Amino acid sequence: MESGSVFSRRAQTGKRRGPRGLRSALSNGSGPSEGKDLLTVAAIPAAGVTRLLALAARLKTLRRRRALHQPLRGMTLGLLFEKPSTRTRVSFEAGMSQLGGQSLFLSAADIQLCRGESIADTARVLSRYLDGLVIRTYDHAIVEEWAREATIPVINGLTDLCHPCQALADLLTIKERKGRLRGIKLAYVGDGNNVANSLIEAAAQTGMAISLACPSGYEPDPRIVKEARAAAAGTGASIELVRDPLLAVKEADVLYTDVWISMGQEREQNRRVKELAPYQLNERLAKEAKPDAIVMHCLPAHRGQEITAGLLDGPQSVVLDQAENRLHMQKAILVELLSGRGAMDSGH
């Protein structure tokens, strides 16, 4: 068992130099202490991902038994969201409560940021009141600034670049359904957005094969792909980008898609729908995957747009498991970061 936080190994080695969007202060030594924050999946060592998955599964079992497990008693988590949310907000609030702590939700309009107070001043003050912060924002550099300035753990609740909590929860769902991660083929079809970026990082850390079919102009972040391919050399993972969705889903174990119009892209709706239409996840594509392939979508979904209702609501769909596992994985993240010790050491 590793000592300390599961998020610390990358900082300890300091070998992986990512692009600015990925290079949190964890690796450049200029900001938060090592292992303090969760900004990307890539910042977590492979062994740390394995440990988080085990802890999340254990917390899920405890929850199913209605067993009292409150390692974060007396702690307060701040939720600072610049974008609306259903799953991220509710799962963090419920999770913190189940772990014995409490949460405090703040929109950007609720604090002095909207009047020009700096992130630095706000982060330093909130660090005196709270035990952790979840930031849901736009530019990834914003969450990095919060992490640099805050002395408490900062968790990326979504940026335009990455959605690490979603990808980690997805790993839990895949492992539950398939019994393993290494060697599993995940086919992602559609917009190469923040979820796709984090799934690429997750695949690289766990030895999965990920094949993404995205139209021109909708590819995942090339810096993330480059970094993930470098990491994949050590885990046996493969990262494949193709144009033809039929190639991506061929013999896949997991079929995955996400919305075509993310928050802030509403003005581009007509163009995006037209250009992404050939990339709908539908029954024709599903026939090319393995017969027992599971269908995933991080929700919210638009039936008849990026995915057909038949697949989303059909017997292969695991979308509700995905949504539930946000709770259990985020509880594992909170325990690791806020308690300063893994729940695996707590004797439960």
Per the residue annotation, which of 23, 51, 326, 328 is the catalytic one? 326
Q: Give the CA angle between residues 259, 260, 264 to the nearest 5°.
A: 95
Q: Give the list of residues 6+ apart from residue 306 with CB closer than 8 angstroms, or none.
A: 190, 191, 257, 258, 259, 260, 276, 279, 280, 281, 297
Contact 228, 204 (CB under 8 A): yes
298, 322, 328, 330: which is the annotated catalytic residue?
298
Which of 51, 136, 148, 272 is catalytic? The answer is 136
Residue 163: active-site member: yes
Q: Is 166 a catalytic residue?
A: yes
Catalytic residue among 258, 280, 328, 330: 258
C-alpha to C-alpha distance for 163 and 149, rounded to whole angstroms: 21
Q: Is 51 a catalytic residue?
A: no
Task: Specify whether 326 is catalytic.
Answer: yes
For residue 314, the cross-strand partners are none
Determine the Cα angle at 190 with ends 88 and 196, to 5°.
Answer: 45
Burial of 113 (0-12, 13-18, 19+ CB in 10 A): middle
Residue among 98, 166, 280, 330 flagged as catalytic: 166
The three state secondary structure string of 74-126 is CCEEEEEECCCCCHHHHHHHHHHHHCCCEEEEEEHHHCHHHHCCCHHHHHHHH
Q: State the helix-helix crossing angle for 319-339 and 164-178, rounded to 10 degrees.
A: 120
Catalytic residue among 51, 163, 272, 297: 163
- Helices H / strands E in the chain, number of each: 14, 9
- Cβ atoms of 131 and 13 within 8 Å: the answer is no
Rounded to 5°, angle at Cα 25 from 19 and 26: 100
**At residue 155, what are phi and psi to the nearest 5 degrees?**
-115, 130
According to DSSP, the residues that pair with 210 across neighbouring strands are: 186, 239
Question: Catalytic amino acids?
Answer: 136, 163, 166, 258, 298, 326
